[in-house]
Structure 1
């Protein structure tokens, strides 16, 4: 289901000579629909008629700039920066006006993924209305003096002081939720039960009209404005949804065959790495098999591991959405989940690592087909701005349906991961490109290098540069042996292609997955050239110095012998 809302807006000046309320709502721009919607309402306050100006600039500034902030910012961070900037401008404006200043209240609501974020200053209000709850639930607390004669005296407002303190609230979003943003001209005369009754009765526009009309009929003494937002559909879960679950939910205890977990019956323990546990389970409703990944009980309280599992779930939903080939589809966790875990489709089959252990050697056609499908999947991953960081035979899986899939996005980089995951030196040493050992950050090219190493090992039965250990000093002293020398049935074009993928010099490698895919599809028709041999000075610079030192020692030894022992 995609993100969909109804929006209604109504405003009336009431008995006041001027309407100083202002409200609006803006959807995310095309291509960024997953960022949802932001809405805001403001009630301007002034002594010289500039309240509307304060309300308008505050709402328009927030709505206009919210989606211009980086999408890596949390909604609270984006709102806080924008509100603080508007407050500084308005406070400075008021200092220059002196006796003719203006300020405004502000209540802003961002809907994103399956979560809402609320920012609030002053005495405008936000309400959440759900069917069956009877009355509207207030989500804000007024920042005004609690005295009948001083209700108009605000303790917080945008433009009141040099620094503004904003209240924030985040919560779960459901289909059917109705949010009402109102000024005190509405909620000052309408009770919560009446707000709920009017908000749920009709379309959002009719509901906002009804709220304002009811406030006018009830004798409000202020401007009356209502903004109604009704949620009709939700987008896929976003990273903040997953991170919220990671903080709120605990991983399940160790499960045994036959145990139930939220409608899934455990049928087997597939893997236990000491960090994660992978179970096979059967869904009670559909009787279909699924895979469940969760943290090992010994890591259950580690917040970084929880965040990494949440990031993997979100990333899986993002790259496998719509049944995209090349990845295992991730199931959205239900609202009633009792523990932290991720559910994947179950696919029978084997990884390249399992094929290497059980033999026989793969045919050339099988390797080319696998490399083609995996290159397409890697290209899709890189277009999402994601680097896998752990491409290896154990993470390349051929399903019983004939589809190759890339497994395990647990250490992938998306630009939205936490600092701990970003700084983690992840990956399997023998499949890491030389630049990473020299301090370079992983990039799409490192995934292509790792794929080349995986193909070389699958075809040749050994690693191009041998087993590499983290403590090893000189890791790439020799160029890989030609695959055609190890296996005469490997065609020259495929030998050159694989060796190009694992070349010691990054300038000789494929730059993108699409370039490697094109070379695979052309095959022998337009073969790529074999990479040039790496000069000794590049493969092992220290060896040159050692040889020079050895030559110098030999020369000096001969010179001493000539001076001391040979006749002159």
Structure 2
């Protein structure tokens, strides 16, 4: 179901001469729907009649500019930047007015802003407007904000925080999860000042959102409010797929479970077997609480449970798995239940073996099997790259052939998407023996070509029995001094076209390689009918500049020795 809300708005000036409240809501623009919507309410405060101006400019500016901020910004970062800018502008205008005319009055406003995105909400709050969260299951209305006003009865209207009051404003932020049927109520003190929380909850669920907002305002007027009365009601009808912000929020809020053993139950999942312990992650086989099908649970090792970067990377992996795991070539990731008690990822379970396990077992695939696997993996990499995602760790251990005969790419834990944190982006990820020369030797950035080189190295190892440039340990400086030996010399049944294709994929010169996964896929599908050319031999000066200099030095020394012998010992 796509993200969908029902919005209602009502505002009355009540006994006041003018209405200084203002509210509004805006959906994300077309093509950017995943960013949800933003709603805001403000209650202007002034001693010179400019409260309406302050409230209106603050709300309209926030609604107009929020979706113009980069999509990679976390909602609190975008809100903080925009609210801070509006506060500075309003505070400066107040100073200018005071400087031009003594007693000109100041324009201040409260602000409560709500961003709904994916399956989460983010709330920003300054002043004494309020936000309420009302569940459809009849739970009491939850007040999400705290008033920034003096506690003394005679000073209730005196704000301790407001937009435009000081050069800097401190904003309260709150984040939480959203369910279908949830209702959010944003109100000014003309409403909540005379209505009890039970009344707010009951009226918010009456009829549609428009009828609920009108019911709240009319109830406040009937209760004798002495201020403007404004209510903005937002009812959640449908949720979008979980977004990265949802996963990151869970990563901060939830703790990984302790080490589990067979028979333990985690949120209904019954552990049936431990699968792997990498020292960073734990992997279990478990049974789904509803379907009773086998699934895989992945979580952090207890020794890494307190590491915020590892939590963020696990959350990023869950989000990527949900984005790319639906179309084949990857293991599907299940959405985490809203009431999950711990941090973990749930994957479909696929029996079978990885290519690394097959190699260790001595299973040697036929040329036809290798080509078929390469086609499936290339197609999956193409899908991944079209999503703007780089895997960064393609190797035999991350290529899995299921019992259904299909090949899948595993482990998106170190993948980058443009939305990952700086620590993950700067991580020197990957397995050295499968990393391309320009990345390993020159510190280059991983890109789509890095994944294709790693796939080529994997195919070369599968067919030829060893890596194209030999094993490289993490502490070694890679030495790409020899071009890979032709596969047809290592394994006679490898056809010339496949030998050329694999050596092109792992060519020392990146200009000789495939540029995209689609290009490599097309070459695999065409096979011998349209073979690619083998890469040209790499000149010694590029493969090993030091060896060339050593050779030149050796020739020079030899020449000088011969010259000395001729001058000293031979007759002239």
- TM, length-normalised to structure 2: 0.95
Q: Shift of the alpha carbon at 1:135?
A: 4.1
Q: Shift of the alpha carbon at 1:478?
A: 0.7
Q: 1:470 aligns with which of 430, 454, 474?
A: 474
1:54 matched to which residue of 2? 54
Q: Distance in 1 between matches of 2:562 and 2:54?
A: 92
String of CA shifts for 1:243-267, please: whole Å, max 9, x gaps. 3333333322222222222222222
How many residues were matched structurally? 566
Does residue 88 in structure 1 map to residue 88 in structure 2?
Answer: yes
Does residue 504 in structure 1 map to residue 508 in structure 2?
Answer: yes
String of CA shifts for 1:22-62, please: whole Å, max 9, x gaps. 11111222333222221100112233333222212111111
Q: Shift of the alpha carbon at 1:452?
A: 0.8
Q: 1:421 aligns with which of 424, 444, 450?
A: 424
SS of the aligned residue for 2:318 comes to helix
1:235 matched to which residue of 2? 240
1:126 matched to which residue of 2? 131
String of CA shifts for 1:347-397, please: whole Å, max 9, x gaps. 112222222233443223222222222112111111222111100111111
1:338 matched to which residue of 2? 341
Q: Distance in 2 between matches of 1:120 and 1:498?
A: 58
1:389 matched to which residue of 2? 392
2:101 matched to which residue of 1? none
- Distance 1:435-1:94 versus aligned 2 partners, 3 A rule: same
- Distance 1:545-1:349 versus aligned 2 partners, 3 A rule: same
Does residue 539 in structure 1 map to residue 543 in structure 2?
Answer: yes
String of CA shifts for 1:191-237, please: whole Å, max 9, x gaps. 21111111012211110011111122222222211100112232233
String of CA shifts for 1:99-139, please: whole Å, max 9, x gaps. 14422111001112222111111111111112455642221
SS of the aligned residue for 2:533 comes to coil
Matched-pair contact (CA < 8 Å) for 1:325–1:377: yes
Matched-pair contact (CA < 8 Å) for 2:8–2:232: yes
Q: 1:375 aligns with which of 365, 375, 378?
A: 378
SS of the aligned residue for 1:327 comes to coil
String of CA shifts for 1:396-436, please: whole Å, max 9, x gaps. 11212222111001111122222322222111111000111
Matched-pair contact (CA < 8 Å) for 1:106–1:121: yes
Q: Distance in 1 between matches of 2:193 and 2:302?
A: 52
1:460 matched to which residue of 2? 464
Q: Distance in 1 between matches of 2:560 and 2:69?
A: 68
1:474-493 alignment, distance < 5 Å: 474-493=478-497
Matched-pair contact (CA < 8 Å) for 2:45–2:108: yes
Unaligned runs of 5+ in 1: none
2:563 matched to which residue of 1? 559
Matched-pair contact (CA < 8 Å) for 1:126–1:140: yes
SS of the aligned residue for 1:201 comes to coil
String of CA shifts for 1:303-328, please: whole Å, max 9, x gaps. 332222222112212222xx211110
Where in structure 1 do 4 or more consecutive aligned residues deviate above 6 Å? Answer: none
Q: 1:146 aligns with which of 148, 151, 164?
A: 151
Matched-pair contact (CA < 8 Å) for 1:474–1:540: no
Matched-pair contact (CA < 8 Å) for 1:135–1:195: no
SS of the aligned residue for 1:67 comes to helix
Does residue 222 in structure 1 map to residue 193 in structure 2?
Answer: no
Matched-pair contact (CA < 8 Å) for 2:437–2:478: no
2:287 matched to which residue of 1? 282
Matched-pair contact (CA < 8 Å) for 2:117–2:243: yes
Q: Distance in 2 between matches of 1:114 and 1:3?
A: 9
Does residue 166 in structure 1 map to residue 171 in structure 2?
Answer: yes
Q: Distance in 2 between matches of 1:380 and 1:127?
A: 42
Matched-pair contact (CA < 8 Å) for 2:472–2:478: no
1:202-213 alignment, distance < 5 Å: 202-213=207-218
Does residue 432 in structure 1 map to residue 422 in structure 2?
Answer: no
Q: Shift of the alpha carbon at 1:518?
A: 2.1
Q: Shift of the alpha carbon at 1:165?
A: 1.3
1:407 matched to which residue of 2? 410
1:182 matched to which residue of 2? 187
String of CA shifts for 1:270-305, please: whole Å, max 9, x gaps. 222222221111224322111111222333333332
Matched-pair contact (CA < 8 Å) for 1:144–1:155: yes
1:37 matched to which residue of 2? 37
Q: Shift of the alpha carbon at 1:550?
A: 0.7
Does residue 115 in structure 1 map to residue 120 in structure 2?
Answer: yes
1:548 matched to which residue of 2? 552
Cα RMSD after superposing both structures: 1.8
Q: Distance in 2 between matches of 1:340 and 1:142?
A: 33
Moved more, 386-395 or 60-69: 60-69
Matched-pair contact (CA < 8 Å) for 1:135–1:194: no
Q: 1:516 aligns with which of 520, 524, 549?
A: 520
SS of the aligned residue for 2:564 comes to helix
Matched-pair contact (CA < 8 Å) for 2:213–2:231: yes
Moved more, 188-197 or 128-137: 128-137
- TM, length-normalised to structure 1: 0.95
Q: Distance in 1 between matches of 2:346 and 2:482?
A: 44
